[in-house]
Protein backbone atom coordinates (compact mmCIF):
# COMPACT_ATOMS: atom_id res chain seq x y z
CA UNK A 1 0.00 0.00 0.00
CA UNK A 2 1.11 3.54 -0.69
CA UNK A 3 1.32 6.02 2.19
CA UNK A 4 -2.25 7.27 1.67
CA UNK A 5 -5.23 5.36 0.32
CA UNK A 6 -8.67 6.87 -0.26
CA UNK A 7 -11.76 4.73 -0.83
CA UNK A 8 -15.32 5.89 -1.47
CA UNK A 9 -17.52 5.03 1.49
CA UNK A 10 -21.04 5.72 0.41
CA UNK A 11 -22.27 8.72 -1.56
CA UNK A 12 -20.84 11.51 0.56
CA UNK A 13 -18.11 9.87 2.67
CA UNK A 14 -14.46 9.03 2.02
CA UNK A 15 -12.44 6.43 3.91
CA UNK A 16 -8.83 7.51 4.40
CA UNK A 17 -6.09 5.00 5.28
CA UNK A 18 -2.75 6.52 6.26
CA UNK A 19 0.39 4.41 6.44
CA UNK A 20 2.92 7.09 5.55
CA UNK A 21 6.04 8.53 7.16
CA UNK A 22 4.50 9.28 10.56
CA UNK A 23 2.99 5.80 10.85
CA UNK A 24 6.24 4.15 9.77
CA UNK A 25 8.15 6.30 12.30
CA UNK A 26 6.16 4.86 15.20
CA UNK A 27 3.66 7.65 15.91
CA UNK A 28 1.49 6.89 18.93
CA UNK A 29 -1.36 8.99 17.50
CA UNK A 30 -2.05 10.30 13.99
CA UNK A 31 -4.46 13.12 13.16
CA UNK A 32 -5.86 14.11 9.79
CA UNK A 33 -5.96 17.89 9.34
CA UNK A 34 -8.52 18.68 6.63
CA UNK A 35 -10.53 21.43 5.02
CA UNK A 36 -12.96 21.85 2.15
CA UNK A 37 -13.20 23.92 -1.02
CA UNK A 38 -10.27 25.60 -2.77
CA UNK A 39 -7.08 23.66 -1.92
CA UNK A 40 -5.27 26.98 -1.35
CA UNK A 41 -7.95 28.44 0.95
CA UNK A 42 -9.52 25.74 3.12
CA UNK A 43 -12.91 26.18 4.82
CA UNK A 44 -14.44 24.22 7.70
CA UNK A 45 -10.99 23.13 8.88
CA UNK A 46 -10.82 20.23 11.36
CA UNK A 47 -8.13 18.10 12.98
CA UNK A 48 -9.45 14.58 13.64
CA UNK A 49 -7.81 11.72 15.55
CA UNK A 50 -7.53 8.62 13.37
CA UNK A 51 -8.05 5.01 14.50
CA UNK A 52 -5.10 2.61 14.50
CA UNK A 53 -5.93 -0.58 12.55
CA UNK A 54 -4.01 -3.48 11.03
CA UNK A 55 -3.83 -1.50 7.76
CA UNK A 56 -2.52 1.73 9.31
CA UNK A 57 -4.43 4.75 10.62
CA UNK A 58 -8.00 5.09 9.35
CA UNK A 59 -11.04 7.31 9.45
CA UNK A 60 -14.16 7.99 7.44
CA UNK A 61 -14.82 11.65 6.72
CA UNK A 62 -18.06 13.22 5.51
CA UNK A 63 -17.47 15.18 2.29
CA UNK A 64 -19.02 18.55 3.19
CA UNK A 65 -18.12 19.96 -0.24
CA UNK A 66 -16.92 18.42 -3.54
CA UNK A 67 -13.22 19.06 -2.72
CA UNK A 68 -11.40 18.07 0.45
CA UNK A 69 -7.71 18.73 1.09
CA UNK A 70 -5.83 17.12 3.93
CA UNK A 71 -2.51 16.31 5.56
CA UNK A 72 -1.44 14.46 8.68
CA UNK A 73 0.30 15.16 11.98
CA UNK A 74 1.28 13.12 15.00
CA UNK A 75 1.03 13.85 18.73
CA UNK A 76 4.57 15.32 18.71
CA UNK A 77 3.42 17.87 16.08
CA UNK A 78 5.43 16.31 13.22
CA UNK A 79 3.64 16.82 9.91
CA UNK A 80 3.29 14.85 6.68
CA UNK A 81 1.95 17.26 4.08
CA UNK A 82 2.94 15.43 0.90
CA UNK A 83 6.09 17.54 0.47
CA UNK A 84 4.09 20.75 0.81
CA UNK A 85 1.36 19.76 -1.64
CA UNK A 86 -1.13 18.17 0.80
CA UNK A 87 -3.62 15.68 -0.66
CA UNK A 88 -6.85 16.71 -2.39
CA UNK A 89 -9.77 14.47 -3.32
CA UNK A 90 -12.99 15.12 -5.21
CA UNK A 91 -16.36 13.68 -4.16
Please report which residue ranges of the chain form alpha helices under DSSP H: 21-24
21-66 per-position pLDDT tens digit: 999 999 999 999 999 999 999 999 999 999 999 999 999 999 999 9
In whole angstroms, what is the distance from residue 36 CA to residue 51 CA?
21
- The answer to whether the Cα torsion of 79, 67, 50, 45 is positive or negative is positive
In whole angstroms, what is the distance from residue 16 CA to residue 77 CA?
20
Tell me the Cα Rg of the chain: 12
11 has a pLDDT exceeding 70: no
| Number of domains within the chain | 1
1 has a pLDDT exceeding 90: no
Range(s) of the domain holding residue 51? 4-90
Among the ranges given (7-16, 35-44, 57-66, 79-88), the one the predictor scored with the smallest mean pLDDT: 7-16
In whole angstroms, what is the distance from residue 15 CA to residue 84 CA?
22
Instruction: For residue 44, give the CATH number of its domain.
Output: 2.60.40
Amino acid sequence: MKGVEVKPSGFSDASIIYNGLLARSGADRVYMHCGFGDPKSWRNVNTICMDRTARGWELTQRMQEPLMSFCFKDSADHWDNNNGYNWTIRA
